[in-house]
Each structure stands twice: as structure tokens, then as C-alpha cells.
Structure 1
């Protein structure tokens, strides 16, 4: 069945993008969207303390500084700057600095509310819930401050804003429910929160480009026309996310294959650079640097990240990497009574380490090969030969090496890197917030169901599953399928289950499970996992049984559940408590 989403009113749409390396926001009002959808504010006033500047930036580093009581101190460039000052004053022991924490949620086996994240030195542990809550609040506070300072939208409050939070397509419902819960803890209104899949948002953005902003079209960019089938590859810091779309006659987008991807991206190349430097400096010096001079260590990591971006396909003899030779050499002499020049065979010129260029290019190869394999796997579906275009977006899409590798590997398909590739997700998320129905259907990634117990049939069912309750012979831990995987589901599709609440109770609870199998039998099978517990609380309980209809809404970016109380006629969104 197809139903309607609950309607909410808002005056402005704001998108929040928490990246592995960088985070940011963008926004536009409903009136602006109706006149010019691409009139989106994405320039942000993040102070670049670490670079000695004070200028407008589109994103800020995904890092956060807390005090010893785990209270919020600062975020982004400000956090970097303050931590450097604390280290200079020898006061860093009273604080904890966190970065690159986004992908800590991915493929976690433990309950997410128990997940702890370590600071950069592995000393302090703070709950993931607190880290993400503080991050979302820091970004929303910065956005609200910019709105107030602009003088244009002084009457707009948080309660007048639809908030769109972008997440990787490879995240499961448990991750999405967790980030939604963190947003609520950060003060956002539940019915004004939308989750957007990052490659989907980029796809939406690319479908607006040609008509609205022809000056942004380079290298023969062709806006997808009706009937065009294309793949979007979002190359980010921690993930490679993929979605495959067909543009329909009405301008809507239809998903052709379930979203996919892997936990690889720009940071996997960063790690390769770090490992190379660690080998050259020898392990003890590198570990000592991290402990004795954390600011130099963090600066080194940032320098390596920046150096990575400057690697091109141009053939060079050597490649220079800034390493703050003076500080590292001073540490080596004091701790190990030896200059690092005695250990490093490469030349050091003006604080820069000169490395054979071929060696540097080889650092990209494992990540590049993995990306190519991930795209190949995403194109293993019926009808994939009709996919004519590959759109590369995300911060890592601007890497010449990865772009050329994809062009050379997929020579029969047109490969395009749109202008604003690095902010395509952020701007597309704003567009999605204004018009979420633009993605008219999606492919289910998993089989969804609830745990159930049903009458036992002697000649059919496994005897080990039999048990007796209230003189009834039942079969337990049954996976009651709501919708199977790999199904094309229109947006707004709801599938119902009816439950009876006893006279003395006012709550209903059901455990929700997903499976990688199309037809799982039991909830304790190897490929099944619990994503959360549905809780329905009924108001005005009467001393009699009551029937509630629970509508599981599919076709969106994440599972939503609406409950209907037959007696009162009241419909409300139900709460899912994540595991």
C-alpha cells in the first residue's frame, strides 16, 4: 500500500554533512527554492586559525575538543587552534581531542549506545552518542549564528527549519536511527529531521545543474535527460558510496540497484602516507612524537593530507612532503640521541622530505584498485549495460589519479566530474529537503521483519523450535517478513501489522530485524540482526483490549513507523529504540 508522510511546516531547509575529514552545512529558504533552486548558501564562516587566516570556508575539519569533564569546548578549526594553544601551555592533559570519528559507527557489532570513541592519543574514551550530539549541535549553532548575522532571516528559529543530515549509503538502519537520535539530543525537532543518502543527494544536485547554472558545466557535461541511466560514485574521506539512477519523464529519479559501497576513500590514502613516514622515521620516533609533541604530530597528519591532494598524473622525479624536520629531529636527539638524518635515506630540503615520485603514486594503488572493484560490483545487475554515465562527486573525486584510473577502466562509459564536486552532496541535500519525493522509489537492501511466534505444525516445523505457552503449542523466534530484500519499493509504501494491547497495558513492543537473506526463517540465523525495538505508547488507555495498526513505511532513506489507534483514530510516529 502507498500512503502519505506526515506533513510538517518549515521556512528553511538546512543540510548537515558530517564527513570523515571535513564537515559543513548549507541552506536555502522555501521561497528562494521556488524561484531558483540552486540559490543555496554554502559559504560558512569557519575561522582558519590553524592556517593563520580568518576567512570564509565551505567546510571545517571534523574534530572536537572536550574538557576533562567531557563538556564541549570547541569544534573544527577552532578546536585545532585551541588544542595547539593548550599543548603550548602544557595544559593538554585536561582536555581530549577527537577526529576522524564518523566511520566508528560502521559495521559495529555492539549496541551503539555502548560504543565508546577514543581521543587521538588513545587515552580518553567518550560515548559515540555524546561525540555526535556535540558535533551536530556545533554545526547547527554555527548555522544559526550565520543566519542571525546575515540580517535576512532574523525571525527564523530552529523550529522553523527542516534539517537534512547526510549519511553514507553503506550505513544500515541502525546507524541512521543512531544519528537521528543524536540530532534529537542536540535539540532538533524529531518531525523536522530527514536523513539523506550522500550519493543520492549528489545525484539530485547534478540533475539541476545545466538548466539553472550553465556556467558550471565543464568538459562537455550533459545533464541527465529522461531515460538516462547513470551511476553516481561519491568518493569521500572514509567511504566510496554508490547509487544507480534512471531519470524518468516527470523528472523524478528511480533507483535501479540497491545503494552500495565500501569503507575506502581519501583517508585510506592518508593512512598509506602515514605508514610510509612511520617506516622512514622508524616506529619508536613516530610513537614518541605522538606522545611528546601531539601538535607537531597532528600538523604532520594535516600536511600529509594536503600533500596527497597535490599528487597529479604529471610525471616527476621527486615529490616533496613537509614534515617539520626541526621539531622531529629535536625530539629524536633528546629521546634517542640520534639525528633523523642518520635514519632517513631520502633527502631533506628546507623542512621537506623528498621522496621518489613513483613511490608516492604507488601509495594510491590499493585504494584505487578497491574503488574500481567497488564500482564494478555495483554494475553487476540486470540492465547494467544500459548505464551510460559515471558521475564522480565528493572531495576525493578531485584527485587526478583516481579520476584517470576510473576513466581508463570504464572506457565505454562517459565519466564526468561536475564543478562543485566536493559540495555536491551538501547542496543536493538541501534540494532533497525541499523535494524529498524526487527519489520516487528505492531498492530494499535487506529483508525486514519482526520476531514472532506462530502455531507449531508437527510435520512441517523444526521440533527444536516448539514450546508451550498458555496451553498452546507454538513455534518461537520466527522471522515474520514485512518486506524482502531487492524489491523496488515506491516512496511512501507502507506495510501494516496489527497488534492487540491488553487492558492493563498501554504499550506495545516489537523487535525489528533485518537479514541479508531473501527468505529468512528465524531471527537467530547467522545473517539476521536486530536493529532496534519498536515502542508504541497509547494515550488515554481504557480498561479493555485495544487494536493498533503499525504501518512500516518503506521507499525512503530509512525505516519510518507510524502507529494508528483504532479506538481514538489517532495517528502518530512511533519510536524505535536502537540497539
Structure 2
């Protein structure tokens, strides 16, 4: 983490479904890491949980109006008065950073009514609102608190690519957070760190705890079940108590939102597509009520029990011809075998992927599965995982699984190196442009010319350890053009097990570029590029041998 003496660490867990924020003072943390974390409610007076829906309302001029529960309530009032169409209402929009290809700063988001706004502005408004809430609350306990005394942490899914991570940094910067004082935290890693501290604390207090999960040499899997994504990380506890990956992070878009969508489609089919659509299009208010009913009802469902949802008055006692469902008064009752099929596909995606991860040689000594995230509260999901993975010790670390990532992010902000290494998810490499010629290393036979099929210069091989803060690759080049001031070196990835030899291969994907500006370099000048990796990003230094100077280069992943 950042090497500066912050007075306070503040974390923002910006989720697909719900968001939260928390902070703790460094002085308090040193005496009690767990119980001194303060959570700031974003949901207003009527909020039932410590987190708030990731919903933002913007006025007709595109200016911020409300966030979270307040945004929901205000928009419902607008919808009742038929004044909602001119306003912007964004919900469950975080996943677009995962699904969008060619992510850039000009990307647009569609709101609930199809109106568009720049995604960067929407994300920045949300982060700024949360940042200001946290800072105002923290000021009550710390007199004369300055913004440069706060270390900010923002959580991101482990399976997000470099473009999505850089987008969040850009949004946070636009929101007023100094990027020098900002760290991104991978959600399952934050969960692992928090679970470790809770287990150690419970053991010291004489309470029962699964402390053996975090003994030196122990291996475990974190299954972070969120609203948008499911992240799976495999970790081992080192002799120093730090965590390192034993298999690279993986997962997919199989979170709780997938269940919501499938329930929506089922109810739509039961009532009749045309009838249901007409009602939802006519009344935004009824649509909002239906979405909320599905979200809340999903978490309560149990296997072998009927699922019940309250319907809009317009559908009360509606006669239907759908086997396995009936409408009585203002509620739809769905038989267990029908509703189980809704969950079946999404849960099978999670279980199938988890089975593949646990079948690998690298994870053969794993004994524990830790389920965290808001979706981990879903009864049907928990029952299925327990049944399919009954040879493992399955642990639900606390009663509020949705708060684990947030609290873990706060702890990580106080620790210098809670995670000492990760494994590369892909092969990473460079594509060298014209104007440069590689100086081959003695032990390699790589091509030195780049006229036809440029060589894939490897940075990190898939599955190899990435030591945080350590150099991952270094290459030297000769300048072949008469004058060179701007250099752009492509950054490539490949998911194949075997690294490509040429960037012309179909399996290579350009994900970004290294951009560096120098004083004009004359022909035959020598330049060295040194690449390292911090918590979540690549860092690049360029050295001009003749000048004896080092220049910082930036990695740009937003096209």
C-alpha cells in the first residue's frame, strides 16, 4: 500500500447492487483493527442495512440530485407524478465496465428510460458524494483534518481488466481524490484479509473461530458472491502471516443480478409478455416496485418452498394459464420446481467454475471455502454449494457477509503488504513500434527487426508469480529513427496456455499502451524500459543511457 503516514484510511465499496463506505483512524487501528472501523450510512433514515443501493439520480440538466435510498425514494415520487421521464436514473451500471469492450473515457451509460450520459460523469458523481459523506463524518472526530491526510481505498472485482481499473481511477480523480492518495483493492483479497483478522480476534477473545484456516501453510478459496460478478481467489498463508495466490483470480458475471433478470423474465412469461410490458412501460413507478420486490424476495427463497412476489394492483387475481404458477389477490405464487430452474443456470455457472478451479494441481491442498459478498446470503445458493462441495469446510465468516469486503479494504489501507504476490491471469507482452530495435538478451534468440511480424516481447507469463513492488521485466532498445520524442509501446495479453511468438497471432489482444515523452533522441541512442507492478497497476520507468536520466512513463488502458 501507499508509503505515507495517513491520519485516516477511508474505503469505498462501490458495488453493482449496493455500495458502502467506512473509515478508521490510524491511532485507533493500532489498538483494535476491527472494532474501531466506523461505517457511514449512505441510505438515509429509512435504510435497513449499512449499505445503500448503487443508484444515482440526476436532474434534467444532468446535475447530481441524490444517491442510494434517497435517489430511489425521490425518483418514485417523480414517477407517481409522471415527472420521471426528464430525469436521469441510473441503477446497476457498474457491470458495464466489465462487459464493455474498448472501454474509453467517452463511454456512455443508458439510464432506466434509455437516456444517455457520459459514464465517467456518472461514476464520478457517485464517488464524490460518498467521499464527501465519509470526510464530513471523519471531520467530527478529527479536528482540522486535511484531505491529504486521508488514504482512500476503492474496491474492484479481481476479474476486472486493466481498462476498467484505470477507468475507476479516472472517475475517482474527477471526483476530487488525489490519485497519489488512492489505492485500488481487489474485493476477494480484502475479504480474505478481514476474515483473517476476525478469526485471530475471536481466538484471542476466547470465542470459537476457524483459526486453522489462517495458520501458516494453510490454503483456502474465497468465493466473493456479489451483485454483478463472482470472484474466486485461491490463497496460501505464508510464514509471516501474509497471503499469496496459489492460482490466479477468476470468475464471471454470475452474480445476484443474473437471478433478478431471470425472475423478471419468468414473471413476464407467466402474466403474458405483451400485457406485462405494456404495464411496465406505462408506469415507471410500478416497474420500480417490481424490481425492488424481486431483489428482496430473492434472498428469502429456500429450496423446496414456493416463491411469492407481490404484484402491481393491475395484475390482481389475473387468470393465467401457466403450469406451476398462480395469482391469488395481489401475489404471484411459483412452485418450487419452477423457481429452482431460475436459479439452476446461474448457480451451475458458479459451481462448475469453482469445480474446475478446485480440480487443478495448484489447489489440491485447499480445505476451506469462504463465502462472502451480499449474494452469499441467498439461501438457495448456500444450500447448493454446501451440497456440491461437502468434502470442504464451508465457512460463512460473519452475519453480515456484504460488509466483509468493505471492512477488509479499510484494514488493507493500514497494512503495508497484506498481499505479497499474485499470479498472472494472462500472458502479458509488448509490441514494439517502428523507430525502436530490441537489444536481444544473451540467453534469447528473439527477432531484432519489426518490419513484418513484430515479436511478442514477454512481460509476465500466465500463472507466474507477480511480486508486488518488484520488477517484472526489463528491455533495452536502440533508436533507429532520426528523431524520436514520443514513444507508444503496445501492451498485449494472451489467454492461451502457451505464450505467442508473434503479435500477429489471433490470440493476442491489445489492452493498452506505454506512453513516454522524451527530449528528442538521436539515432542509435539507447533506451531501457523497466516495468514493475504495484497493488493493481503496472508502473513503467524509461532510462536514457546517454543522458543518465530516468523518465516516468504511463500505462494507458483507456482507448
Deviations 1:54-97 (A, max 9, x none): 35741111111123333222211121112112222322121121
- Residue 6 of structure 2 contacts residue 150 of structure 2 at CA under 8 Å; is this kept in 1? yes
| Cα distance in 1 between the residues matched to 2:311 and 2:206 | 37
Distance 1:563 1:12 in 2: 34
CA contact (8 A) 1:36 1:212 kept: no
> 1:353 & 1:558 partners in 2: Cα distance?
49
Choose which of 68, 72, 77 in structure 2 pairs with 1:76.
68
- 1:351 Cα deviation (Å)? 2.6
Name the SS of the counterpart of 1:561 in structure 2.
strand
Distance change in 2, residues 1:186/1:537 (3 Å)? farther
Would the alpha carbon gap of residues 401 and 129 (structure 1) be closer, same or farther in structure 2, given more than 3 Å must change? same
Q: TM-score, normalised by structure 2?
A: 0.88
CA distance 1:388–1:519, change in 2 (3 Å): same
Deviations 1:142-173 (A, max 9, x none): 2223223xx20242233222221111111111
CA offsets 1:107-131 (integer angstroms, 9 cap, x no match): 432343343221113x212222222
2:386 partner SS: helix
Q: What's the CA shift string for 1:397-447, capped at 9, x where partnerless? A: 122221121121112211111113221111111112222511111111111
Q: CA separation in 2, counterparts of 1:131 and 1:523?
A: 36
Listed as ranges, the matches of 1:5-404 within 5 Å are 7-48=3-44, 53-55=45-47, 57-121=49-113, 123-148=114-139, 151-213=140-202, 222-313=212-303, 315-316=304-305, 318-324=306-312, 326-328=313-315, 340-341=318-319, 346-349=325-328, 351-404=330-383
Q: Structure 1 residues 152, 555: closer, same or farther in 2, change over 3 A?
A: closer
1:238-287, Cα deviation, whole Å (9 max, x unpaired): 11110001111110111100011111021111112111110122112222
For residues 2 and 405 of structure 2, the distance between their equivalents in structure 1, rounded to whole angstroms, comes to: 25
Q: Quick check: 2:24–2:38 contact (8 Å CA) kept in 1?
A: no
SS of residue paired to 1:405: helix
Query: In terms of mean alpha carbon deviation, does 415-424 or 124-133 score higher?
Result: 124-133
Q: TM-score, normalised by structure 1?
A: 0.85
8 Å Cα contact 1:489-1:555 kept in structure 2:
no
> Whole-Å Cα distance in 2 between the matches of residues 120 and 92 of structure 1?
10
Q: What does residue 492 of structure 1 align with?
A: 469
The gaps in structure 2 that reach 5 residues or longer are 439-446
Instruction: Work out the CA distance in 2 between the residues paired with 1:427 and 1:564.
Output: 40
1:547-562 mapped onto 2 (5 Å cutoff): 549-554=528-533, 556-562=535-541
Stretch of structure 1 that moved more, 94-103 or 507-516: 507-516
Structure 1 residues 509 and 389: alpha-carbon distance in aligned structure 2, compared to 1, 3 A threshold:
same
Give 1:393 deviation, angstroms: 0.6
Cα 1:269/1:432, change in 2 over 3 Å: same
> How far apart in 1 are the matches of 2:371 and 2:202?
19
Q: Which moved more, 1:240-249 or 1:519-528?
A: 519-528
Bigger mean CA offset, 497-506 vs 134-143? 497-506
User: Tell me, what secondary structure is at the counterpart of 2:62?
Assistant: coil
3-state secondary structure, aligned to 1:556: coil
* CA shift for structure 1 position 577: 4.9
1:219–1:434: structure 2 CA closer, same or farther, 3 Å change rule?
closer
> For 1:90, what is the secondary structure of its paired residue?
coil
Residues of 1 paired with 2:541 and 2:80: CA distance?
A: 54
1:483 pairs, out of 460, 484, 491, with: 460
Change (3 A) 1:270 1:577: closer
Match of 2:391 among 412, 420, 429: 412
Query: Which secondary structure does the structure 1 equivalent of 2:141 belong to?
Result: coil
Residue 364 of structure 1 aligns to a residue in which SS?
helix
Shift of 1:557: 2.8
Indicate if the aligned counterparts of 1:348 and 1:354 stay in contact, CA closer than 8 A.
yes
* Aligned position for 2:412: 432
Deviates more, 1:524-533 or 1:244-253: 524-533
* Alpha-carbon displacement from aligned partner over 1:458-515 (angstroms, at most 9, x marks no partner): xxxxxxxx99xxxx88444332212211112222221223457889665432221212
Q: 1: CA distance between counterparts of 2:351 and 2:520?
A: 60
Q: Report the equivalent of 2:443.
A: none
Deviation per residue, 1:217-251 (Å, 9 max, x gap): 67867542111111111111111110001111110
Question: How many residues are treated as equivalent by the alignment?
Answer: 541
1:578 partner SS: coil
CA–CA distance in structure 2, aligned partners of residues 7 and 56 of structure 1? 37
Note if contact 2:517-2:553 (Cα within 8 Å) is conserved in structure 1.
no
Query: Which runs of 5 or more residues in structure 1 are unaligned?
Result: 330-338, 457-465
Q: Is the 8 A contact 1:452 1:476 kept in 2?
A: no
Q: Quote the residue 1:446 is aligned against.
A: 426
Give 1:563 deviation, angstroms.
4.4
For 2:27 and 2:484, the matched residues in 1 are separated by 47
Structure 1 residue 45 displacement after superposition: 2.6
Aligned pairs for 1:531-546 (under 5 A) are 531-538=511-518, 541=519
Q: Distance in 1 between matches of 2:450 and 2:372?
A: 56
State the match for 1:463 in structure 2: none
State the alpha-carbon separation in 1 of the partners of residues 232 and 151 from structure 2. Answer: 25
- How many Å separate the matches in 1 of 2:485 and 2:250? 40
Contact 2:221 2:235 (8 Å CA) reproduced:
yes
